[in-house]
Each structure stands twice: as structure tokens, then as C-alpha cells.
């Protein structure tokens, strides 16, 4: 059996060409988050913490500004209803990929509901706003602040 001479280098180059990419470092910061979500049936005062993680996206194109993967996880968020005193829970994680500026703002929505309510119960939506300074050179989140509020959608025409 004859083996084509080009086949051996081709197979070797393919097997050596797929080395795993270097693992990108993740910058992270945990920040307190609090705010009032006004709405019906009652306003809810929330408090807790959020973890912000930033990692360079692995599919960045050489020579273009890097895209970053931003992950935000809510930690131990709970709230108290202003009129009923009911306990509300708010949890979740979101991940997005975008170009970051040295000082940036990310806003994401999260559902919340009364603690112990059925999984199919109606939930409400809050918007969490994160403003942070990111140093791409040192891969560090220099500072961060977070707040939570009601989702204000524009009125329908």
C-alpha cells in the first residue's frame, strides 16, 4: 500500500495546530447592591450583593478592540414589601459579550417574586445597573457600584 507523501505532513500539521488557547484571566469584584423597586402590588426594598466578572472573549480578532465577556451574578438578594411586609427573592445570572470602555455602565433585568410562591406564579421585573471602571492593561475592575430599581418601559402609543 502506498501512502501519499503529502498526507503525513498534513496530518501532523492538523494534529499540532489545535493546541488549546491560553486560559484568559478573569477579573472579578463583589459589590453591595440595593434599591427600591416601585410598582404594583407594592414597592419592594431590596438588598444583597452582586459579583461582576470580566474575561476577554476567546474569539477576538487581532488588531480590533477586544470584546469582553461580562458575567453578573446576584448573591443573596432579598427584599421586603413596603405594605405587606412580604419577603421577596431576586436571583439570577446574566452573561453578555461586548466591548468595554474604561468607565462603563451595564444594565440588566432580573425577575423577582414573593418567597415561596409557585414556580408558575407571576413575577415582576427589576433592572440592575452596574457602573464600573475596568483597566484592560492590568485586567482589573478598579471600582464598581450597583443599584436596583423598577423597570421603566416607555408608554405604549
Query: Is 12 part of any domain?
Result: no
Q: Which residue has the higher pLDDT, 24 or 85?
A: 85
How many other β-carbons are positioned within 10 Å of the β-carbon of residue 121? 9
| Residue 9 pLDDT > 60 | no
Q: Which residue has the higher pLDDT, 125 or 62?
A: 125
Query: Is 3 part of any domain?
Result: no
Query: Is 11 part of any domain?
Result: no
How many domains are contained in the chain? 1
pLDDT digits (tens, 9 = 90+) for 38-77: 988 899 999 999 999 999 887 767 777 778 899 999 998 9
Query: Is 110 part of any domain?
Result: yes
Query: Is 77 part of any domain?
Result: yes
Range of the domain at 134: 28-150
Q: What is the percent of the chain with per-residue pLDDT over 70, rounded to a whole number?
A: 79
Contact 55, 26 (CB under 8 A): yes
pTM: predicted TM-score of the whole model, two decimal places: 0.74
Q: Where are the alpha helices (DSSP H) in 2-147?
A: 7-17
Query: Is 108 part of any domain?
Result: yes
Query: Is 106 part of any domain?
Result: yes
Amino acid at each position: 500500500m502506498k501512502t501519499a507523501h503529502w498526507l503525513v505532513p498534513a496530518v501532523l500539521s492538523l494534529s499540532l495546530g489545535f493546541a488549546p488557547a491560553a486560559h484568559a484571566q478573569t477579573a472579578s469584584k463583589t459589590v453591595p447592591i440595593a434599591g427600591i423597586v416601585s410598582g404594583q402590588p407594592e414597592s419592594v426594598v431590596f438588598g444583597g450583593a452582586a459579583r461582576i466578572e470580566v474575561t476577554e472573549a476567546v474569539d477576538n480578532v487581532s488588531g480590533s478592540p477586544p470584546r469582553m465577556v461580562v458575567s453578573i451574578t446576584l448573591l443573596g438578594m432579598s427584599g421586603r414589601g413596603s405594605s405587606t411586609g412580604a419577603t421577596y427573592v431576586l436571583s439570577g445570572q446574566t452573561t453578555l459579550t461586548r466591548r468595554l470602555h474604561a468607565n462603563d455602565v451595564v444594565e440588566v433585568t432580573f425577575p423577582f417574586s414573593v418567597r415561596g410562591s409557585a414556580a408558575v406564579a407571576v413575577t415582576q421585573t427589576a433592572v440592575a445597573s452596574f457602573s464600573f471602571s475596568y483597566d484592560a492593561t492590568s485586567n482589573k475592575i478598579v471600582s464598581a457600584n450597583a443599584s436596583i430599581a423598577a423597570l421603566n418601559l416607555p408608554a405604549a402609543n
